[in-house]
Chain A
Amino acid sequence: MSLDSKVPQGPIKDKWTDYKNHIDLVNPANKRNIDVIVVGTGLAGGSAAATLAELGYNVKVFCFQDSPRRAHSIAAQGGINAAKNYQGDGDSTYRLFYDTVKGGDYRSREANVYRLAEVSANIIDQCVAQGVPFAREYGGLLDNRSFGGVLVSRTFYAAGQTGQQLLLGAYSAMNRQIGRGKIKMYNRHEMLDVVKVDGKARGIITRNLITGEVERHSAHAVVLGTGGYGNVFFLSTNAMGSNVTAGWKAHKKGAYFANPCYTQIHPTCIPVSGDHQSKLTLMSESLRNDGRIWVPKHKKDVEAIKSGALKPRELAEDDRDYYLERRYPAFGNLVPRDVASRAAKERCDAGFGVNATGEAVFLDFASAIQRYGKETAHVKGLDENDAALVKKLGQEVIKNKYGNLFQMYEKIVDQDPYNTPMMIYPAVHYTMGGVWVDYNLMTTVPGLYCIGEANFSDHGANRLGASALMQGLADGYFVLPYTIGDYLSNDIRTGPISTDSKEFEEAEKEVRKQLEFFVTNKGSHSVDYFHKKLGKIMWNKVGMSRNVKGLTEAIAEIKALREEFWKEVKVPGTNEEYNEELAKAGRVADFLELGELFAKDALNREESCGGHFREDSVELDGEQKGEALRNDKDFAYVSAWEYKGEPSDAVLHKEELEFKDIELKQRSYK
């Protein structure tokens, strides 16, 4: 099957408007006869469900958590971008579009990104109308902050809890529709397969996580808003339950999986403290506005700091290596996430890591505390040379800006970041890859849609800060509800979809077979044993820096681990009860397949772009020596993989990327 992105003709700024003017609509009376399933209740799924219900469709919504309000969008900290230009600093739809394509290292689809930038402003209007309490200035208008990789202030925020506030907004919109009976909500239900009838997605199979009951649910279309797959690394900033199962089952039913190797490794996370670690915690990118990143210049000081003989604060300025400022004088500590992460790894690999594991660098607020302290003393007419006073005033300013993050850090690490630099290290945070979708957000399976982080569409090879929330809500509130109508207009006479067909029966049988296998296998190792092993392979060989040897080994090791898993996995208890180990087993089984495809995709892409860094594709000389080298001639395409059984048999389809409105350039942050 050839890939048709279905991007409309015409100038980029008119595409979406013209397209909306011409797509087929479903009249309100007919919408009442059409059912839509939405899986996942994060920003994308929640907003889509609410809007579809409001338009008049009958919506069934599923989430594995105990309430839709718990989806992991809730944990997003920094903010949401929108081209409002409230600050009058020259922002525009075009500029947001340009920044996003450039930030994504020219590996995203222009038309999708332009549409995203176009609807972004409306998202803010919508959320304010819903009562989302964004930060405001004293005049009562909305406040903005700045994020990495851009030159304007377009980020709207609600302290360090923007994701929470936006998600609760979408949740409240859903609640209104649940109250009206237009949404039927299924909490603690996990989707375990997509059901296709006559080639179209017509339903899903779910397991009730409380009772173990396997259920059939039918609809005229199915929408997946099931998030990213960062947990393939075991340790990530994702929630414990975040998984790839919905997307992977869709893949196995014919949906192509795009760019699995594009992973965002976020530079500022709290380092791993030991083998017991279950997840990693992000410290918002906004901290890099005021924090300076460094390691000692000399190995003897590294050792002294590790042993506790030397306190980081006592090390002289001249003996510190502010390596981002040294390597990237123009952008300094605010280089994009992929660049900052690789630079931290480079220093730690060279033996300059500052904690016991050798995998941490300092993020230091001392100069910001000084700067703010002096400024405040000046404004208040106090003594700018009183060191203790300046420090106190400076700490207060920092507390106002980042208090909740500093508190989080202190609770986890048991050190006071106001008085000693934070220790940070990169961690897996977001996956740009995902299920391939066309301009309508439909997968290669007719009637099966994929939105938010779960799809691959808008961020190319690297996502900019505060753009995930924007994409989730754009897809759910403003894109999918229109584009799905074009498809559903053919279903107004179809009538209810029966679940008594052989297709549903077969899908249910397969699901039951796997559940039954797990609870009767009685192997020798727990699910986590395999998940942790997979995570280690992924992190060491398919992580921040990749090469042919490591990737080839990873493919073989994951395959071997998967075989061992199916022989030796041990799941206690039964299917007919709440059984978290059983739920986890199914998720890890899918991660073990995805992981191999991920490595295969990374091996295929012989270039460095965004979050995908290949050691054999770097600049060899000149000012950019050692930096990532993209290859537009051979790799300006989306890798869309077709399932053929084993991951090693997956077939590559290429969607060539055309850049008509933006010139392809090598990124430089020097």
Chain B
Amino acid sequence: MDMNLTLKIWRQKNASDKGSMVDYKVSDISPDMSFLEMLDVLNEQLINNDEEPVAFDHDCREGICGMCSLYINGEAHGPDRGVTTCQLHMRMFKDGDTITIEPFRATAFPVVKDLIVDRSSFDRIQHAGGFISVNTSGNTIDANATPINKADADTAFEAATCIGCGACVASCKNSSAMLFVGAKVSQFALLPQGKVEATDRVLNMVKQMDDEGFGNCTNTGACEVECPKGISLENIARMNREYLAASLKG
């Protein structure tokens, strides 16, 4: 059955604007719509009424690019589990609901406009060490020259499925990015190719993470619950071990 909804949406003109919550009504929302398609309906309505549409980030709309964000009714990517906002469907809501929509909030994610935040701090952490220093010329050893234990390869893959959306940071009371950083550190720590630079990698990435103003982990586990890709807390533990080992060496 189609729904009529009240939306309370964070509107903020630009980074220096103070911003506030504004109420909107949308009607005849089909339960088969995705959450972002519901916002498309709102925006079409606003444009037709000569009002400014709500700015939000989105691109692939199939849960893999990590561009969409949104803090919906107090949860990153909304009430469903294991999905991004673009995969959240309106059948999770009911007629007459009021839905609160805010941007991901963190010191290291300043608001750009309305629901869009600047997550370039994530990129800068990756610049600091999220790679293996191998030339891309292709003059490397055969791909099967080094067998890798399947369990390690699978665990590395699971860590590598992080989409860099920032839900972990938005969900954390300390705005910690340790799940995001831990996932990348773990991916390489579990593979023989990554071991060569392990020491520098973890030290540099953690330093950059701290410099960007992200907080620390106090093991509440909210990040793991809200992560659309189910990245495990074990990755934080592994990063801590790597960090300790690297610090003792350094």
Contacts and interface: CB of A to CB of B under 8 A. Distances in A.
A278 B40 contact: yes
A279 B48 contact: no
A131 B132 contact: yes
Interface string B8-49: 000001100000000000000011111011001100101110
B250 interface: no
Contacts of B97: none
A67 B132 contact: no
B213 to A, nearest CB: 18
B67 A125 contact: no
Contact of B131 (A70, A173, A276): A173
Interface stretch (A135-143, A500-508, A559-567, A644-652): A135-143
Contacts of B191: 131, 133
A175 B143 contact: no
A142 B143 contact: yes
Contacts of B72: none
B221 interface: no
A563 B195 CA distance: 60
Contacts of A70: 59-60, 65-67
Interface in B114-129: 116, 118-120, 122-123, 126-129
Contact of B61 (A84, A239, A414): A239
B248 interface: no
Contacts of B52: 572-573
B96 interface: no
A140 B59 contact: no
Contacts of B157: 133, 135, 158-159, 165
B1 interface: no
Given A133-B157, A159-B157, A408-B87, A580 B53 contact: yes
A176 B204 CA distance: 13
B164 A69 contact: yes
B130 interface: yes
Contacts, number: 211
B50 A572 contact: yes
Interface string A164-206: 1100100111011011000001010000000000000000000
A74 B60 contact: yes
A88 to B, nearest CB: 12
A51 B61 contact: no
A572 B44 CA distance: 11
Interface string A391-406: 0000000000000000
Interface string A479-497: 0000000000000000000
A139 B91 CA distance: 45
Interface stretch (B146-154, B168-176, B239-247): B146-154
Given A131-B191, A581-B53, A171 B65 contact: no
Contact of B57 (A66, A130, A573): A66
Interface string A127-167: 11111011111111110000000000000001101001100
B144 A239 contact: no
Interface in A453-502: 477-478
Residue from A122, A240, A414, A577 having most chain B Cβ neighbours under 10 A: A240
A503 B53 CA distance: 36
Interface in A64-80: 65-70, 72, 74-75
Contact of A171 (B60, B126, B150): B126
B126 A528 contact: no
B73 interface: no
Contacts of B236: none
A407 B60 CA distance: 17
A405 to B, nearest CB: 11
B222 interface: no
Given A131-B194, A133-B157, A67 B119 contact: yes
B214 interface: no
A140 B141 contact: no
Contacts of B133: 176
B133 to A, nearest CB: 6
B31 to A, nearest CB: 8
Interface string A272-283: 011011110110
A528 B164 CA distance: 29
B105 interface: no
Residue from A171, A179, A573 having most chain B Cβ neighbours under 10 A: A179
A131 to B, nearest CB: 5
B231 interface: no
Contact of B33 (A127, A171, A276, A407): A276
Given A165-B160, A172-B126, A176-B131, A241 B59 contact: yes
B136 interface: yes
A67 B87 contact: no
A178 B144 contact: no
A229 to B, nearest CB: 16
Contacts of B59: 65, 70, 72, 239-241
A75 B64 contact: yes
Interface in B53-105: 53, 55, 57-67, 80, 82-83, 87, 89, 91
A124 interface: yes
Residue from B64, B66, B118 having most chain A Cβ neighbours under 10 A: B64
Nearest to B156: A133
Contacts of A69: 66, 123, 164
Nearest to B131: A172
Contact of B136 (A173, A175, A414): A173
B116 A130 contact: no
B63 A408 contact: yes
A136 B149 CA distance: 8
A47 interface: yes
B193 interface: yes
Contacts of B91: 414
B137 interface: yes
Contact of A570 (B47, B144, B156, B193): B47
A161 B64 contact: yes
A139 B153 CA distance: 12
A69 B47 CA distance: 31
B34 A278 contact: yes
A420 B82 CA distance: 22
A427 to B, nearest CB: 12
Which 3 A-B residue pairings sit nearest by Cβ, starting from the closest? A140-B147, A172-B131, A133-B157
12 contacts: A65-B65, A70-B67, A75-B60, A125-B138, A133-B156, A133-B191, A140-B150, A141-B147, A171-B126, A241-B59, A276-B32, A279-B62
Given A74-B60, A175-B123, 7 more contacts: A75-B60, A84-B143, A122-B138, A135-B157, A172-B132, A173-B136, A411-B89
Interface of B: 13-14, 30-34, 36-37, 40-41, 44, 46-48, 50-53, 55, 57-67, 80, 82-83, 87, 89, 91, 112-113, 116, 118-120, 122-123, 126-138, 140-144, 147-150, 153-154, 156-157, 160-161, 163-164, 187-188, 191, 193-194
